[in-house]
Amino acid sequence: MKYLVAALLFLASFTATAQKNYLNESKADRDARMQWWRDATFGMFIHWGAYAVPAGEYQGKEVKGIGEWIMHSANIPIPEYEQYVKQFNPTSFNATEWVNIAKQAGIKYIVITSKHHDGFGLWDSKVSNYDIMDASPFKRDILKELSDACKAAGIKMCFYHSIMDWHQPDAESKKDYTHQNTPNPDWAKYRENYLKPQLKELITKYDPAVLWFDGEWIPEWTEDQGKDLYNFLRNLKPDLIINNRVGKGRAGMQGMSKTQDAAGDFGTPEQEILEGTSDQDWESCMTMNDTWGFKKNDHNWKSAQVLIDNLVDIAAKGGNYLLNVGPTAEGLIPAPSVERLQAMGKWLAVNKEGIYGTNSRKQYKEGDVKFTVSKDGGTTYAFVHTKPGGEVVLESVKPAEGSKIHVLGWKQPCIWREEGGKLIVKMPLKLPSDYVTTLRIKTQ
């Protein structure tokens, strides 16, 4: 009996500590885990932190480069940068309003910076005092408020987390990022006693759907450490989705993993869209102007036309679009971003059937026209720029016999004919949405 109890105890302790290796997950398990993310197609990136206080200016001068890098670009000493943290008091922040803006834009998941490279955390961390509760006057847990608002709205909450950390002394990266002149930084100590416990905290407190890593390029971080972290996190939350910057596998800004066995679930092209489709899952993250974190003098906004064309192009190539906003130090999403998101939401309200939950088509474009297909393969969606009353000519789509072709958002079916092996569709005299029109064509 005694031996049986001992054996059971041993077994229990073994089960408690046994770590599953998620790196060789089956395709079926992986497909099931990735499904909501693949169907979602459109996410909002939020870069927000103390860098919104200087908003791109240091000592009265504009600093070149992206806003969230100001500490590094202007070589700001830590004690001075900490003053921005002390001034970070975004009293106009309203999580429900942000989430409403996202929801009305047709966004399905939000990825916010829990910690960017500057090391400052937007949640109530027990691991560090360099966070919103202890180091800033705001003393409201931003991640908690946003997580709650997302949950209420049915939007998935996800976190961006920087592996590189310019503030934590043990994390000092000696090659290019010597911010604090720590004599003996201890990367392993930072990794095990700071990075991992903070991530565990984020998972257990806020249950994020995706962890989006970055800052993995420093030499201290290795692919093995990435794989170890990947398993550590999936053991805490088995259905978690993790980007490929958890390891060292990505190929530059093009962002796709170089090898099959690289850690991470999806590729991360940055400020670019893949040339074509891919066997890997992928998500293009892009800014609306030229910065991720707020810069008061960056007014180089992309038009709604460009953003909607990007969304269509990405959906046609089977990727996701992670579109960035950089809120102000007061806690507001800049008005030009809100305007563009509203235009996208209005467009998606009419055209969503061709975007969410669709697949890419083998021939994903024909000239200027992009395509997606329904999951069952029976419907092709063609995204066109043709004017009202004009004709769309397609060579690669053959409608099912006797089927109707519709413009999404328009009740009357289109008049169409086949001529010399081409499909010719007459557009209505009035179109239901601006920017891009979607044709629904039954092919089976």
* Sites of contact with ligand FHN (CB under 6 A): 47, 66, 68-69, 214, 270, 285, 292
Whether residue 57 contacts residue 296, with contact meaning beta carbons closer than 8 Å, is answered with: yes
Give the nearer residue to ligand FHN in terms of CB position, either 111 or 355: 111
Residues in contact with 282: Cβ distance below 8 Å, sequence separation at least 6, in sequence order:
255, 256, 266, 267, 268, 269, 274, 318, 319, 320
Give the nearer residue to ligand FHN in terms of CB position, either 42 or 371: 42
Element (H, E) at 416: strand 415-419
Cα distances from 253 to residues 23, 37, 223, 245, 406, in angstroms, run 24, 22, 18, 11, 39
Smallest gap from Cβ 324 to ligand FHN, in A, equals 7
Give the nearer residue to ligand FHN in terms of CB position, either 285 or 341: 285
Smallest gap from Cβ 272 to ligand FHN, in A, equals 11
Smallest gap from Cβ 69 to ligand FHN, in A, equals 6
List b or e across 243-257, with b for residues whose CB sees 16 or more CB atoms inside 10 angstroms: bbbbbbbbeeeebbb
Give the nearer residue to ligand FHN in terms of CB position, either 137 or 252: 252
Report the C-alpha gap between 400 and 398 in whole angstroms: 7
Report the C-alpha gap between 383 and 38 in whole angstroms: 20
Smallest gap from Cβ 260 to ligand FHN, in A, equals 23
Cα distances from 395 to residues 102, 107, 439, in angstroms, run 37, 33, 15
Give the nearer residue to ligand FHN in terms of CB position, either 172 or 214: 214
Whether residue 405 contacts residue 413, with contact meaning beta carbons closer than 8 Å, is answered with: yes
Give the nearer residue to ligand FHN in terms of CB position, either 90 or 293: 293
Smallest gap from Cβ 270 to ligand FHN, in A, equals 5
Sign of the Cα torsion 210, 216, 222, 225 reads negative
Smallest gap from Cβ 136 to ligand FHN, in A, equals 20
Give the nearer residue to ligand FHN in terms of CB position, either 150 or 285: 285
The DSSP string of 115-150 is: E-TT--BSS--SS-SSBTTTTSS--S-HHHHHHHHH
Smallest gap from Cβ 400 to ligand FHN, in A, equals 42
Smallest gap from Cβ 310 to ligand FHN, in A, equals 15
Report the C-alpha gap between 205 and 198 in whole angstroms: 10
Give the nearer residue to ligand FHN in terms of CB position, either 265 or 270: 270
Dihedrals phi, psi of 114, to nearest 5 degrees: -70, -40
